[in-house]
Amino acid sequence: MTRPALVAVDDLAKHFPLPRRGLGLRTAVRAVDGVSFAVAPGEVLGLVGESGSGKSTVGRLALRLIDPTRGRVRFEGHDITAERPRALRPLRRAMQMVFQDPYASLNPRRSVGEAIGEVLRLHRIGVRADRRERTGALLAKVGLAAADMTRMPREFSGGQRQRIAIARALAVEPRFLVADEPVSALDVSVQAGILALLRSLQEELHLAMLFISHDLSVVEVMADRVMVLYLGRVMEVGPTRTIFTAPRHPYTAGLLAAAPRLHGVRPAGVTLRDEIPSPANPPSGCVFRTRCPFAVPECATTIPAPRPLGPGHTMACLRDDLRF
């Protein structure tokens, strides 16, 4: 990256312990296992991968919503993993999240105005009258009416609820936003409007964003750069155009080959075989080797380190002779 990082993540890992069975050793689910990345101010980093790859866990770790097993997250150079929860409170204004399910992320017993106003109150932004005015302006910004603040979440459609959730996340004027599958729970006909809103607000407010999705077509239009995650490890990172037109990692090529495409024909790539292994028992060496048609014996014993391929483009693979 040429721009200074707003958020810098180094060797981040999260292992969830499993209950001990009998006298055996206690095992753990390795949801995230050594992830590093950075997001510059105003940049959108797309995070893609199959279900079970650890995408949502990365998003929660980046905001310190859960504590890491190891690694560091720095926000504007400040190590937030070393802080106590109380000390993090002033930083919460700068880091917000839009969750996947708008039906679950809003309290059904609070009106829309109360849901947004509570955020403003907790962060001591304005007095009561100011908060009401600010809430109305936020609703208008996301395409709703100021009068909607008196209505309950059940009175809105899924797309409208997600607009409310976006307004709530932006109420405290964050500089970094994690959008965790923000359109996957919505009808296809509604998704385009939410994506256009997010992109417009991101550009207007110069937001840095970690955009998480399993839908490659969505990431292609939203992200400046793309990070490909598999079984808790980063396989490839690069500019969006590079990742989508000239992928170098077999897993990236497999995801692209499997993705539906509306315009044109995608070149033949890698066919992903079998299912993603359990993160409680990941393969040795390269975690992708059990599904990779190009694996060599060394892949079973060596964990590939990320290596540069070009400007802003890295790959974690032992093979350097593959082209797709």
Tell me: pLDDT of 105 over 90.
no
Indicate if the pLDDT at residue 23 is higher than 70. no
pLDDT at 112 over 60: yes
Structure confidence at residue 157 (pLDDT):
92
Mean pLDDT of the chain: 91
Q: Say if residue 257 is exposed, middle or buried (CB neighbours under 10 Å; 0-12, 13-18, 19+).
A: middle
CA distances from residue 258 to 50, 88, 252, 255, 298 in whole angstroms, order as listed:
11, 41, 10, 5, 27
Overall average pLDDT of the 35-50 stretch? 97
List the single range of 108-112, 124-128, 148-152, 274-278 with lowest mean pLDDT. Answer: 124-128
Mean predicted confidence (pLDDT) in 52-73 = 95
CB atoms within 10 A of CB 122: 12
Give the residue carrying structure tokens 């208008």: 140
Mean per-residue pLDDT, 55-59: 97
The confidence score (pLDDT) of residue 2 equals 56
Of the chain, the percentage scoring pLDDT greater than 90 comes to 72
Q: What percent of the chain has pLDDT over 70?
A: 95
Contact 145, 139 (CB under 8 A): yes
Mean predicted confidence (pLDDT) in 147-160? 93
Q: Per residue in 211-259, pLDDT tens?
A: 999 999 999 999 999 999 999 999 999 999 999 999 999 999 999 988 8
User: What value does the mean pLDDT take over residues 306-323?
Assistant: 94
Specify the length of the chain in residues.
Answer: 324
CA angle 166, 169, 174 (to 5 degrees): 125
Q: Tens digit of pLDDT for each residue in 250-284?
A: 999 999 988 876 454 454 568 888 889 999 999 99
User: Can you give the pTM of this predicted structure?
Assistant: 0.93
- On the question of pLDDT at 114 being above 80, the answer is yes
| pLDDT-derived band at 296, boundaries 50, 70, 90 | very high
Average of per-residue pLDDT across 139-168: 93
Nearest CA-CA partner of 52 in 276, 288, 289: 276
